[in-house]
Amino acid sequence: MRRKLVIGNWKMNGSRAANSTLLAGIKAGLGDAKADTAVCVPAPYLAQCQAELTGSPIAWGSQDVSAHASGAFTGEVSAAMLLDFGSKFALVGHSERRSYHQESSALVAQKALAAVNAGLVPVVCVGETLDEREAGKTADVVGAQLDAVLEVLGTGQLAKIVLAYEPVWAIGTGKTATPAMAQEVHALLRARVAQKDAAAAAGMQILYGGSMKPENAAELLAQPDIDGGLIGGAALKAADFLAIIGAA
């Protein structure tokens, strides 16, 4: 039985004061939630998460990680640096990184590998655009994005990653994939992982992201291959984030 995992992706939002209020609200309302919980925050706030979340059940992580271990890579943050601040997760290949920063699937795969090698859990994001979906290319697009990662990870490493299916057309738009649409893609992603490592596929947490909110979370999270959520906008309000965690 896979545990449910709900991750809040704050994107480029927050301030020290607002973060404190949000984290305190989440901690206060978490109760005995059954789902695992984490927040992926802008890198400058990792120290704040470490200070305010250590000892709580809430894990934290980054929204990106360098493919390189160290050196002359201005502006990048290495996996070791993220670990220095107690991070557990690193998002890799979020569609906003792929589209605004031209990150290729090959680079995303190298980032996932760097994370795994350092002991971070990469949350590998895949997803198709609306044009790709309407052209019937969803399976090919997400399959190719996944394959790039499967190619670089060695035996045993597949059990150390989390996948997130985020249809690009559903991110921040208020449009959500129907539970059936999301389930179909999650099942095909799991089947593709199973071709390489059946045990890892059976245990792999595959999260859905894209306008998940309290009103639609329960139905999405009830699907057999949806193991949690990667939450954007609704993760910025403690009550909404807690409601989604409660639905998981």
Report the binding-site residues for substrate: 9-11, 172, 211, 232-233
**Residue 7, CA distances (Å) to 34, 111, 173, 197 in order:** 14, 19, 19, 25
Give dist(CA 24, CA 229) in Å, integer: 21
Six token digits for residue 48: 């704040």
Give dist(CA 52, CA 181) in Å, integer: 38
The active-site residue, picked from 94, 103, 128, 132, is 94
Helices 238-247 & 214-221, crossing angle to 10 degrees?
20
- Shortest reach from residue 237's CB to ligand G3H, in Å: 12
* Residue ranges that bind ligand G3H, judged by CB under 6 A: 9, 94, 166, 171-172, 209-212, 230-234
**Nearer residue to ligand G3H within complex by CB, 157 or 164:** 164
**Nearer residue to ligand G3H within complex by CB, 94 or 186:** 94
**Residue 180, CA distances (Å) to 26, 221, 234 in order:** 30, 11, 22
Give dist(CA 182, CA 204) in Å, integer: 16
Establish whether 166 is a catalytic residue. yes
**Nearer residue to ligand G3H within complex by CB, 90 or 157:** 90
- Shortest reach from residue 39's CB to ligand G3H, in Å: 11
Give dist(CA 36, CA 111) in Å, integer: 23
**Nearer residue to ligand G3H within complex by CB, 9 or 183:** 9
Cβ contact 86:47 at 8 Å: no
The active-site residue, picked from 52, 128, 166, 186, is 166
- Shortest reach from residue 212's CB to ligand G3H, in Å: 6
- Shortest reach from residue 232's CB to ligand G3H, in Å: 2
Q: Which residue is closest to ligand G3H by CB?
A: 232
**Nearer residue to ligand G3H within complex by CB, 112 or 197:** 112
Closest residue by Cα to residue 49 from 6, 14, 92: 14
Strand partners, 123: 91, 162
- Shortest reach from residue 164's CB to ligand G3H, in Å: 7
SS3 at position 189:
helix
Closest residue by Cα to residue 45 from 78, 75, 76, 86: 86
Residues with catalytic annotation? Answer: 94, 166
